[in-house]
Structure 1
């Protein structure tokens, strides 16, 4: 490519000022192997794709000052505002439709380009919705779209009053090509947990990653930790007898916190609430679906006067206070 402000022998032929970088002290023009947009204005443009691993393995043409030329481009302001290209600077000049993408490898009649060695761009606009009670992720594809694969990463938080990390960032899916959706079968609609998702694109031999992660999205639901790739030992144990109800709070009297313990004998929607002696609800500590077992909740009352408070446990049709 040549800047017509520097090369003016045939400005009608070149027809467009092109700004390019220079290579250090030598001043050699640099034209990166990228995707370029040529435009007269925002309504008149086309793209030129120079991304190809095998770039340079074709015949060039002699140009001004002894340079080799890949492609000639000119712009006609009278027809109206049409771009043209030629492979040898001579007829025929081929018109370029507005918005078209030209591939240098195809123009040189060398078949489809290969882009395995190019770093993929960051996938964009990640969203999550519930489909068939499971999180469904969707995103826009990366470039080069024909070689990029995707990794899906998830983080799960859960807890009673304060969210705690149940599963740190983990790759739950990889090697997904072309399709830009993914359904997470390890998480379902419900409550008690919050899943966060982010993705990145992978290229090359699996060693080229998009420069940044996608945006992060989240959804609330139920979660069962993944047992894949874990080793287990089967042992016999005596069953633990559970009795529904609240146990004695400790320490009592409490200051500044108290631990509330309770046991459930059936899986059910469970609420643990604190009331004052007037019967007014002060705080809800638990409001989620829980399985049979023993539970502990630390209550740290804030902005409450000293006095007597009542704790009510409700699970399914059972209550305890």
Structure 2
């Protein structure tokens, strides 16, 4: 699914900012937002806004700004980590895309529920896939565990270690940057206690 972010000042013949994905994931006690654009014209950047579903909430709140690429005909990836102390509330997020001339529009909203608990060990397929040059790998832990997450080539040679530490129960997301690697198929493997899972991913440059 994608959303076209058209400028509120009206159509001027240029391509708008095309948002191809926007997601929010709970990672430990934080919320990780990630989004991707296919094209950008006069994109100054994105204000990140949060709405907490609580009686204390006073509406949408600007929590950060992420610089845009300006003009681009190739995919661009962005991310922001909301380092808040999660409560039992639900949180909604949206992006306010701002042009260089000050005009703006909003993305669709995404929501996370901090009260949701991981019920099992799980490793997800990376997203996006295929990817270039980076992708996100998500996993969940139902209990405190020592976690190892590594990437291998198709010869079984270790490329890098993404995680190698004790983690509390929760949902996590890790960014894998393959800027220095060649196109091809790679495998990532998660070890956590007795749990062992792996997936293939495709790097296309």
Same fold, TM exceeding 0.5?
no
Higher relative contact order (CA 8 A, sep 6+): 2
Specify which structure has the higher proportion of strand.
2
TM-score in terms of structure 2 length: 0.40
Instruction: Give the structure with higher Rg (CA).
Output: 1
